[in-house]
Structure 1
């Protein structure tokens, strides 16, 4: 393991909105075996700016809307795309209802290629990749497999393989590995109202749930209602959880920790010290495994730093991008 460095906070003049902005619009994009919904955040920086590109990948049970605030702040430097993973948000289920981490990685790689191929000043260049939780693990694997597509990597509380069930989880989750059990879990989830779902996720994912803006809670409930109308919603959640746990059993070069050690692009690891879902003690370990990685640990923040602390997260990401661009020019 190599020692990690503390993340540098950019001094860029961020245009902080007075109120939480609405979700960015989007459209469907073709991927292997189907289509996914992708939201686009337009560039909002100076005309002479770098106009780089970024792709955002949400976590288990999340959606592209989890990145609305951060993508808006980073629009100072980047055009942004935020994907709904197959079976989540407004994306259709994957082919043959396969919710493996490998399947999510294939979709993210396809979207990376789509983003890089868009016309414009940054056409053909690698893309800044940011992922949270399950999306963080998926982004790490995608970056390890296709480093040519990734300019920098930001991992927000990534769901790295662990072999001890977090206290916030019931050990019954391990039963998802058994045949037939995911179907029972789907029936159980079907009895949860959108309001109960949002309340539970807020308590579990945020370090200080009382600080969540009312507008964000109302939007989350509306999104949960839309999701409840989808026949595949609960199946996507339970099968993706099963796929995540199964991925932890991979050994050799397919293990995520070994993939992390192979990364060579500029990397930032972001964690909240009140994360109840992925142990914050993994933060310095992961930052030490990835060569040259930077580390940002945020106080009183939980599992979704891009939602709880968008300004601090944005400044650390911008610092990474600025330094990466400077090193590229010097090289």
Structure 2
């Protein structure tokens, strides 16, 4: 009886706090909220001859074969593989590693381009991180960058056990590649022919901007929301749905550099984020805050490496890409003016061109042969 009364009191306090916060926020942002709701529902322009695909085409992608990869701790990771055209031998396996709060669909334009090249000779592998997308929910203790590096290793052992590799990582996906390099530097000396690090960081992610606030250990709101989400997930998800338009506005502001980006592109990212449980996302806060793998970068020294960032990225600013480039003087650094964090969606033509050049370099045997001779 006493315990039930305690739960009711706690629930009342939480409800009161949320209610007061919601009321106060509503007074200050009502006009903005209404404007966001209208902007969100403006039909997207379908004439995209000079731009990305129309919303109606979002599902038109090369078909992949579904796979289930078992991580070393038993967590199931959802994946897909696209094989090269019939009769052609794959020279490379390209593995795409998505970022925090997203899923493998974020590689939409890259999957479309590389999966439909008539002379494409690469196998494409896409997968969802643990607790993201269609992958299995994992324990909080296992939601670390180090474990994501181990998960990538499991994906490679299962879906690409031999042959040359190109690893493409965005944001937390790039950090996962660094964690793999920290774990298995010999893999990069022997098999990894190319690496693309998009809008990512080797450390000090929480030094400024939105991450500086969200990832801080002193952020009471983040900790409170995380605790509440673990205790009352339905309550938090209902609250999240109620402020969906506001979250959509934040997504537009922080995912893209162009504030006039088509609403359907914002919807695309917003949908991916919304399908991930709040408490699952909060599980990764500490690992993002403590990520530091500058020391792992030398493993990429002799690998064809592309480092790409947007100079309007408000989540992981361009200077993080410059830090990585300073550690890898032989890498190609690409700066995209006016582009935000979701570069592969905001400016897919430029990203695809850079990736295509990377694949062409990685397909040349000279670099691999040179390393083998040196090792011999």
TM-score range, shorter chain: 0.7 to 0.9
Give the conservation status (yes or no) of the 8 Å contact 1:207–1:300: yes
Q: Structure with the greater relative contact order (CA < 8 A, sep ≥ 6): 1 or 2?
A: 1
Distance 1:96 1:257, change over 3 A: closer
Does 1:40 pair with 2:81? yes
Distance in 2 of aligned mates of 1:208 and 1:17: 14
Distance 1:202 1:262, change over 3 A: same
Distance in 2 of aligned mates of 1:138 and 1:176: 25
Specify the alignment match of 1:314 in structure 2. 352
Give the conservation status (yes or no) of the 8 Å contact 1:272–1:297: yes
Structure 2 segments unaligned to the other structure (5+ residues):
1-50, 371-376
Specify the alignment match of 1:159 in structure 2. 201
Give the conservation status (yes or no) of the 8 Å contact 2:52–2:348: no
Moved more, 317-326 or 172-181: 172-181
SS of the residue 1:90 aligns to: coil
Number of equivalent positions: 296
Distance 1:304 1:192, change over 3 A: same
Specify the alignment match of 2:111 in structure 1. 71
Specify the alignment match of 1:235 in structure 2. 279
> What do residues 67-90 of structure 1 show as CA deviations (whole Å, max 9, x unaligned)?
121122123332211111000011
Distance in 2 of aligned mates of 1:257 and 1:150: 19
* Among candidates 260, 267, 272, match of residue 310 of structure 2: 272
Normalising by the residue count of structure 2, what TM-score does the alignment of the two structures yield?
0.69
Kindly state the Cα deviation for residue 94 of structure 1 after the two structures are TM-superposed: 2.4
Kindly state the Cα deviation for residue 96 of structure 1 after the two structures are TM-superposed: 6.2
Distance in 1 of aligned mates of 2:68 and 2:360: 31
Distance in 2 of aligned mates of 1:266 and 1:177: 39
Normalising by the residue count of structure 1, what TM-score does the alignment of the two structures yield?
0.78
Aligned positions of 1:178-327 closer than 5 A = 181=224, 182-184=226-228, 190=237, 191-193=239-241, 194-212=244-262, 214=264, 216-220=265-269, 222-223=271-272, 227=275, 233-248=277-292, 256-263=293-300, 264-326=302-364, 327=366
More helix by share: 2
SS of the residue 1:258 aligns to: helix
Specify the alignment match of 2:156 in structure 1. 112
Distance in 2 of aligned mates of 1:132 and 1:209: 21
Kindly state the Cα deviation for residue 56 of structure 1 after the two structures are TM-superposed: 0.7
